[in-house]
Amino acid sequence: MANTPLDEPKKGPLDGVTVLDFSRVLAGPYCTMVLADLGARVIKVEKIGTGDDTREFGPFVENESAYFSCFNRNKESIVLDIKSPRDRELLERLLDEADVLVENFRPGVMERLGYGPERLAQTHPHLIYSSISGFGHTGPFSELPGYDMVVQAMGGVMSLTGWPDGEPARVGTSFGDLSAALFAAVGIISSLYSRTKDAQGTRVDIGMLDCQAAMMETALARYDIEGVVPNRTGDCHPSLAPFESFKAEDGKLVIAAGNDTLFLLMADAIGASRLAFDPRFITNDLRCQNRPALVEEMERILTTRPVQHWVDLLNEEGVPCSPINTIDKLLDHPQLKARNMIVQVQGSAGKPFRTAGNPIKMTGRVDLGSDTPLVAPGLGQHRQAILDELMARHGSYCLPSTPGQAGKARSAKAGATSSGQRQGAQSDQAAMARQDSRKASGSAATRIKGGQSASDKQGQEPARDLGKRVGKP
């Protein structure tokens, strides 16, 4: 049997952390992908029948969505029917075991399901609850639907994207979703650290519009100081020059000479030392004021040779520069390959394809490999394994001690013909699960409200079985 995320060792810094991922599409799954890349165990909770919406997004590899696989690698999948008493009991078990819950529904959805943050703060005080939504869970816009395109427009980034004489443009990637995902990951990891000190879970409330405002660099401050609405500047930096693209003989390159020293080096590299002494270009402010003239002077020289010629000369002088690569150039880029940034991903049974890896490089940990494909789960692939694991751990039923006996027991269980017997067994298991869960929750609540127990003070495992997890109370 092929290895699954269930039996593959986790070697990242979040090893031992369990995440319940209720999210779908992009912002939430990207956040939990980052956590999984860092070693967390991520259990993706999906809806019956369809699962995550992106399972139907192209492109497809052997009938499996590459879009889904990109952002759900190294996760487990369980399908739950929240209306089913048995599945609600199973979910309660998972909540007992989990450190983090991530969801990106509109405000109110999780409350209607019975798993809102206020309720879980009472029943599972150890849990870090992270919500990602268009506008956060407070404020006059909190109930509005928010998608990446909407947030890019409302947050102002579209007004800054494109050329001055053109129309506003969407950033070429889902900037709103991805920035929210990364801020959510920062909030979650910060909360895990905080919990090591006070044993208390945290609510992390991420609004995509908030994240867009935070990513506006100095645009807000510039308007407040100067009173001029920032506009589209094409590919040039509004406060630095030369800091943009330039025409060469066979294409365009970017030159980013962001200070006076780099400008001098750039002028020498392209054989135009006179530019460094031109009174129009003596300082950065003057270069910005006279940008059209500077671009004209530089392109008069740059268009005489191909892009790579100038890139080689500029790199020799330490001037930041680059050709403008198309996406096809990235998969075999020597720097990205050397940094293990091109990895293979595949669906549960599909053909591997290449995509971007984890950019967080840390000493003392094994990076994601580029040779062995990272697997995204099939819909509900790990339900039975998770169920067996939880039931065995909590004693709701006992698995035989040997693999052979276990197989016989499972066969006997599967061969039962009486539906009444099966339902009765499930009911007994659920009743025992409820009893264990209530006892565990009471123990945790007492510990949080009443201070540390004697066993806690002695450094022993608390009464509540939360597993061997990093940073858990």
The per-residue pLDDT for range 47-77, each reduced to its tens digit, is: 988 999 999 999 999 889 999 999 999 999 9
What pLDDT does residue 396 have? 56
Which of 302, 323, 344 is a domain's end point? 323
One domain for residues 268 and 357:
no
What pLDDT does residue 420 have? 35
What pLDDT does residue 412 have? 34
One domain for residues 175 and 285:
no
| pLDDT above 70 (res 436) | no
| pLDDT above 90 (res 388) | no
The answer to whether position 10 is within a domain reads no
Range(s) of the domain holding residue 318: 243-323
Q: In the predicted model, what is the mean pLDDT of residues 357-369?
A: 82
Q: In the predicted model, what is the mean pLDDT of residues 350-367?
A: 86
Q: What is the CATH number of the domain that holds 150?
A: 3.40.50.10540
Q: Phi and psi at residue 216, in whole multiples of 5°?
A: -85, 10
| pLDDT above 80 (res 119) | yes
One domain for residues 317 and 347:
no
One domain for residues 167 and 90:
yes
Instruction: Kindly give, in sequence order, each residue whose CB lies less than 8 Å from that of residue 314, ignoring residues fewer than 6 positions away.
Output: 255, 266, 269, 270, 321
What would the pLDDT profile of 209-268 be if each residue is shown by its tens digit?
Answer: 999 999 999 999 999 999 999 999 889 998 899 999 999 999 999 999 989 999 999 999
Active site residues: 237
What pLDDT does residue 391 have? 78
The answer to whether position 410 is within a domain reads no
174/427: higher pLDDT: 174
The answer to whether position 66 is within a domain reads yes
One domain for residues 147 and 286:
no
| pLDDT above 50 (res 358) | yes
Q: In the predicted model, what is the mean pLDDT of residues 194-222?
A: 94
Tokens (6 digits) for 357: 């890896």
| pLDDT above 60 (res 199) | yes
The answer to whether position 297 is within a domain reads yes
What pLDDT does residue 370 have? 65
One domain for residues 48 and 185:
yes
Q: What is the CATH number of the domain that holds 260?
A: 3.30.1540.10
Mean pLDDT of the chain: 82
The answer to whether position 414 is within a domain reads no
What pLDDT does residue 348 have? 83
One domain for residues 248 and 171:
no
| pLDDT above 60 (res 421) | no
What pLDDT does residue 253 have? 97
What sign results for the dihedral spanned by CA atoms 429, 435, 438, 441?
Answer: negative
One domain for residues 160 and 253:
no
The answer to whether position 456 is within a domain reads no
Which of 323, 346, 371 is a domain's end point? 323
Residue 300 — pLDDT band, cuts 50, 70, 90? very high
Q: In the predicted model, what is the mean pLDDT of residues 21-41?
A: 96
One domain for residues 87 and 188:
yes
One domain for residues 278 and 147:
no
Residue 39 — pLDDT band, cuts 50, 70, 90? very high
The answer to whether position 402 is within a domain reads no
What pLDDT does residue 238 have? 86
What would the pLDDT profile of 306-320 be if each residue is shown by its tens digit?
Answer: 999 999 999 999 999
One domain for residues 262 and 131:
no
| pLDDT above 70 (res 146) | yes
What pLDDT does residue 440 have? 40
What pLDDT does residue 395 have? 63
Count of domains for the chain: 2
State percent of the chain over pLDDT 90. 66
Which of 323, 350, 365 is a domain's end point? 323
One domain for residues 134 and 176:
yes
What would the pLDDT profile of 72-95 be if each residue is shown by its tens digit?
Answer: 999 999 999 988 888 898 899 899
The answer to whether position 284 is within a domain reads yes
State percent of the chain over pLDDT 70. 81
